Structure formats: structure tokens, C-alpha cells
Amino acid sequence: MTTLVLETEPLVIKVTVTDEKVIVDLVDGRSLSVPLAWYPRLLHGTQEERHNWQLLGDGYAIEWVDLDEHIGVEGLLAGRRSSESQRSFESWLINRNTAQNNPERLMTNDC
């Protein structure tokens, strides 16, 4: 069995999300492009939510806070799709739709 050893840590510097792809630019000059459909939460997100990303650490992962989505660079390089179960995704989608249709449910009683 062979183990891949990376010469440098793959770190993200820029993320672009289109209607079809997630494009990630790395510090070493490479760009990765993967189908948006690999990440159902991003696929169902609005343009505003897709553009609201932040890097974790020095850029080892990307987080979309509004969508509760986290994608690691090593996973992208390995070609890994979202590993979220269908049941979990459907539950998230139902909760998301409920919150969007009933924004008052998001309010808390902080007395």
C-alpha cells in the first residue's frame, strides 16, 4: 500500500461558487473545480449564502456558516463528495424551509 505525502499543505486563498461549480484557488497556483451538485446544501443555498464563506485556519477548509457546510481542501483534492446522509440532508432542508417560511420561530426569549 502506498501513502501519498504532500510536499506542501494545500491551502485555499479564494472560493467562487457558480450555479454549476465550486471553484477553489490554492496558494500554490492550482485551481480545483467540482460540481456544485456534490454539495447539496450549497446547491440549495441562495447566491447570498453561497458567497458568504470563510476560511478555517490558514485555509485548510472552507465554511459556509449560513448553510452549516464545511469542506476540507484535502477532501476536494481526493474527489470526495459530501458525505451527509440523505436523511440528515432532508431534515436540514425541512428545518431550513420552516425557518424561511416562519421567521418568528427563529426569535428567542432572552429575558
How many CB atoms within 10 Å of residue 22?
23
Residue 103 is predicted with a pLDDT of 62
- pLDDT tens, residue order, the chain (111 aa): 666 666 778 999 999 999 999 999 999 999 999 999 999 999 999 999 999 999 999 999 999 999 999 999 999 999 999 999 999 999 999 999 888 777 665 554 444
12, 24 Cβ separation under 8 angstroms:
yes
Residue 102 is predicted with a pLDDT of 74
Residue 4 is predicted with a pLDDT of 60
How many CB atoms within 10 Å of residue 99?
12
Residue 5 is predicted with a pLDDT of 64
Q: How far apart are CA 47 and CA 60, in angstroms?
A: 23
HEC profile of 40-77: HHHHCCCHHHHHCCEEECCCCEEEEHHHCEEEEHHHHH
Q: At CA 58, angle to CA 8 and CA 69, rounded to 5? A: 110
30, 8 Cβ separation under 8 angstroms:
no
